[in-house]
Every structure is written in C-alpha cells, then in structure tokens.
Structure 1
Amino acid sequence: MILGCAEGRSNTTVGADLGVSDETVGKWRSRFLERRLDGLSDEPRSGRPRAVTDDHVERVITLTLETTPKDATHWSTRSMAQRSGLSHNTVSRIWRAFGLQPHRTETFKLSADPFFIEKVRDVVGLYLNPPDRALVLCVDENSQIQALDRTRPLLPMRPGQVERRTHDYVDYLRHGTTSLFAALDTRTGKVIGRCHQRHRAVEFRKFLDTIEAEVPADLDVHLIADNYATHKTALIRNWLAKRPRFHMHFTPTSASWLNLVERWFGLLTEKQLRRGVHQSSAELEAAIYRYLDVTNEDPQPFVWTQTANQILANVARFCQRTLDTGH
C-alpha cells in the first residue's frame, strides 16, 4: 500500500488493486507518514497476556526429549504437567504443535545383507521398468494360519455398542492350520493362490507348477521372493533349471517390505482373518479362497513409486540417525 501511494496513485486506486478499502490504505499511509517504518509494526493488542511463555514451551520440549519420569519409561500429559507446573491440556497442545507422541513407539529392522544395494536395485527395477513380454510376480507364503474359534458366541454390533467377542480362543490344534502360497501380478494386481497343509520345498514346487499352468506360455516369468530356505533348495533349483523362462529375484534379508505380496497378505489379515471365526481348516481355506475370488474380480495393483536411489538415500539417513543417537 505504501509503495503504491508513493507512485502517486490515490488511496481508492491502491485499495482496489489490493482488495482492501480506501480507509485501510489511508490508515497505514497516515501511520507511515507519522512514524515511518516503525508505524508499520503491529501495535500491542488488547486482551489477556500470554500465560504460557516461550520459556515454558522450551522447557516442556526439553524435558520430553531428554528426560524420563522416575516411575515410567515415557511421559504422559499428566506426569509432564506435574513436572512442569502446567495443565495437562497445555502440555497436550504443546506436544501436538511439535509433533511429539511419547506414548507411541514403533519397531524397525535394518538389513545386514551384504548385497542389499544390488538386490534393492534389482527388485525396484522390476517394479518401475518391467521387462517386455514378461510377467513380474511377487511370491511368498503366509504360513501356519490358524483356524480359530472363539470360546463364546460373538455379540454383534448394535446402536451404541461395538461388536464384542471373547479374548480367548478354542485350542487351535483342534481345528488345524493352513499355509497360503500366493503370487501377485505387479501389473494387474491379480493373485494366484493355493492353500497347503505344510510349507516345505515340496509344497512350494507344487505352487510353482500352479503358476506355470496359469501364466501364458510365451512370456518370461520373473519371481520376486524372500530368502526363506524352501525357495533355495536343490528341488527348486532343479525345477528352475528345466524352465529357463522362469527367473528368481531375491529381496534382501530382513526387507520383506520390498515384496508387494506382503501388502496383500496384510489386507487379507485385516479384512478376512483377524476377526474371522473358523471351526475347521476347511472353513478357513474357504474364506481365503472367497477373498481371492473377490480380489481377482476387480484387481487393483499396488503402485510402486520410489526409485532405488531414493530408497537407499532414506536408509542411509536412517542409519546415520541411529549412529547419532549414541546408544
């Protein structure tokens, strides 16, 4: 506003250009003429002064990050309020403002695979730039899925009441287990799945036979798998040697997040298994196959976005952070 008036324009013209009234332009113009740049500073406002100063905020943050209470491994809003002399609501607002969540913790695992970089580039390269005339399948097994039955009937959801169930199960040995072998097509999102009672190399070879029967014979097949022992036995190596169109790619050890079928296993558990009640392994397998059918009716692929360089840079930064902690 001041610069516009300095060019010789009227208050009305400047106000119209800036979307304010000519009275507002006149106010700031008068303040500038009286006190120059000091007149453009915000004046003290009316109202109650701040009760929580910057020093209070700094002290809460420092205590949260650098100390622990005597009787616990982490602070709560009330224990921090007692220590800092502020209310627990104030502590909660400070924590939210600075993204602090002492009550939460997560786990992590860093791969010690000596060929970590090479395997990351190999697998991510298949996701982002798949070969021509080839299928990329993420293969793994979800082993020993238990057919669990609750000790009491489920109480269904009602208005004002969530679904309730007993916390304990009937002994799973009475109902059995199953192991699901699955292969996720990274391009289409379709899943090939078979259940077996065990998860040995024999069952994995049978699943490879299933994959061979269901994929087009004129395409190469790139299989992404983890380092489970059954994937590397002589039985599997001989099977692959007789079928040169099949190519195995192994993820780094302790890096299952690189295998996209693990994400599909997570959805299966969340949507079908965690809250399911199955009185036999046959019922369990039927539920799994129903979910497979639903998945393949309208498959949605998981889209990989990060490049290998971005992943390696993130891992390097995380490793440096763990080193900088000094623990």
Structure 2
Amino acid sequence: PLICLDEKPKQLLRDKRMSIPMKLGSSEKYDYEYVRNGTANIFMAVEFKAGKRVTQVTKRRTMKDFAQFMKILVTEKYSEAEVIRLVTDNLNIHKEKSFYEAFSEEEAKKILDKIEFHYTPKHASWLNAAEIEINVMDIECTGRRIGNIETLKNEVDSWTKRRNEHKRKIEWKFTRKNADEKMSKYYVK
C-alpha cells in the first residue's frame, strides 16, 4: 500500500467561561479568554486510494512516538503487506534512526524491512495527501477548542472511525505532466 503520513501539533485549550449555544438565527458565542492545558500531537496516516486512515494522539512528537506509530502500521494495520511505501516530509523524526532509538536493533530492522521511505521535496509538503486529510480533520473535528488530551483522543478516534466507515477517498489529480509544467524552472539541469 501507498501510505501518506504527517502529524499536527494541537494546543489543548479550555474555555474560561461557558459558551452560549447556537440558536436559530445566531451562531455559538464563546469568550475570547481560554485556559491553556498544554499541547498534544496527532499522527495521521492515509491510504488515500482505499479511503483508509489511521490516527493516533500522543502527548509529544518524539522519535519514539513516531517509531511506535509506525510499528502499529507495520505489525497491526498492514501486517499482511510485504512493504509499505511511505510518503512523508523530511522532519527529523521521520528517519531510520527513530526506530533504533525506540526498539532493539533486531526489532527496528524487522520493522524497517517493511517500510520504503519516499520524502516530499523541501517546501512541497502539499504533495503529501496526509496534509489534505489533516485539513479535513481540522474543519470537521479538531479546529476548535478542546481542553484535554482524553477528549481529543475520543474526538479524533470517532472522526477516524466515521471517515473509514464511509471510505472517504482523496482523488489525486496532480500528474507528472502537471509537475513538469509547474515546477520545471526549479529542476536541476
């Protein structure tokens, strides 16, 4: 399978005062003041042709967190796959080193043998379909104040389940020809 992966930091913000619910002719009203309860991280893996996504909320975004998420993809979600072609950006945690930091050498190698890394060019992370799915998640689910990590996990899990049940696919229309037309001036000759 071709899997696109990205992550997103999320501030955990709680309302200082209760919001006033939406009613006919009036949108929800909430106070500009909030209480900051730290941050969390959301990992997003998307198999966009199949309409399948895997998400995980973590307290931090470390090499070990990335490696643990990838282990779930390799050993649980795609255990039958010979190899996972992974499209991701060049973030420092998206490297083989992360696996050797998180696992024994033997286990790291076993996981890495099933992953084929493909990195988006610098300043071109928009080529990663996971970015599109993160934007959809923000619009439909996480683009509002969420005060704690437990609520965030529940919301993201519910959203992911619903999207997967409906098999929401991303119809990628950007071709090699499009790329050559738009970016040929940046090609090294």
TM range (shorter): 0.7 to 0.9
1:42-85 per-position Cα deviation (integer Å, ceiling 9, x unaligned): xxxxxxxxxxxxxxxxxxxxxxxxxxxxxxxxxxxxxxxxxxxx
Aligned counterpart, 2:57: 195
Distance 1:200 1:183 in 2: 16
Aligned counterpart, 1:257: 126
Distance 1:199 1:231 in 2: 11
Distance 2:81 2:46 in 1: 19
Aligned counterpart, 2:29: 164
Flag the structure with higher helix content: 1
Q: 1:155 aligns with which of 3, 16, 20?
A: 20
1:87-122 per-position Cα deviation (integer Å, ceiling 9, x unaligned): xxxxxxxxxxxxxxxxxxxxxxxxxxxxxxxxxxxx
Q: 2:72 aligns with which of 199, 205, 210?
A: 210
TM-score by length of 2: 0.85
Aligned counterpart, 2:39: 177
Report the residue type matching 2:56 in the other structure: R
Report the residue type matching 2:54 in the other structure: I
Q: Secondary structure at the match of 2:13?
A: coil
User: Higher Cα Rg: structure 1 or 2?
Assistant: 1
Give the 5 Å matches for 1:1-327: 135-143=1-9, 145-170=10-35, 172=36, 175-212=37-74, 213-236=76-99, 241-242=109-110, 243-275=112-144, 277-316=145-184
1:163-196 per-position Cα deviation (integer Å, ceiling 9, x unaligned): 22122321x1xx2322111210122121111111
Q: Secondary structure at the match of 1:158?
A: coil
Between 1:224-233 and 1:157-166, the stretch displaced more is 157-166
Residues 272, 218 of structure 1: alpha-carbon distance in 2 compared, 3 angstrom cutoff: closer
Q: Give the drift of 1:244.
A: 2.6
Number of aligned residues: 179
CA RMSD of aligned residues (A): 2.1
Q: Give the drift of 1:235.
A: 3.3
Indicate if the aligned counterparts of 1:186 and 1:301 stay in contact, CA closer than 8 A. Answer: yes
Indicate if the aligned counterparts of 1:240 and 1:246 stay in contact, CA closer than 8 A. Answer: no
Report the residue type matching 2:163 in the other structure: T
Report the residue type matching 1:254 in the other structure: H
Distance 1:311 1:295 in 2: 29
Report the residue type matching 1:230 in the other structure: I
Q: Gaps spanning 5+ residues in structure 1: where?
A: 1-134, 320-327
Flag the structure with higher strand content: 2
Q: Give the drift of 1:138.
A: 0.3
Indicate if the aligned counterparts of 2:43 and 2:57 stay in contact, CA closer than 8 A. Answer: yes
Q: Gaps spanning 5+ residues in structure 2: where?
A: none
Bigger RCO (CA 8 Å, 6+ sep): 2
Q: Give the drift of 1:233.
A: 4.9
Distance 1:232 1:245 in 2: 14
Q: Give the drift of 1:316.
A: 4.5
Q: Secondary structure at the match of 2:177?
A: helix
1:268-318 per-position Cα deviation (integer Å, ceiling 9, x unaligned): 11111223x43322112211111111111112110111212212312358x
Distance 2:8 2:19 in 1: 26
Task: List structure 1 segments (4+ residues) > 6 angstroms apart after TM superposition.
Answer: 237-240
Distance 2:96 2:178 in 1: 33
Identity of aligned residues (%): 23
Q: Secondary structure at the match of 2:43?
A: strand
Q: Secondary structure at the match of 2:45?
A: strand
Indicate if the aligned counterparts of 2:40 and 2:60 stay in contact, CA closer than 8 A. Answer: yes
Distance 1:177 1:282 in 2: 12
Indicate if the aligned counterparts of 1:181 and 1:194 stay in contact, CA closer than 8 A. Answer: yes
Aligned counterpart, 1:46: none
TM-score by length of 1: 0.51
Distance 1:247 1:136 in 2: 10
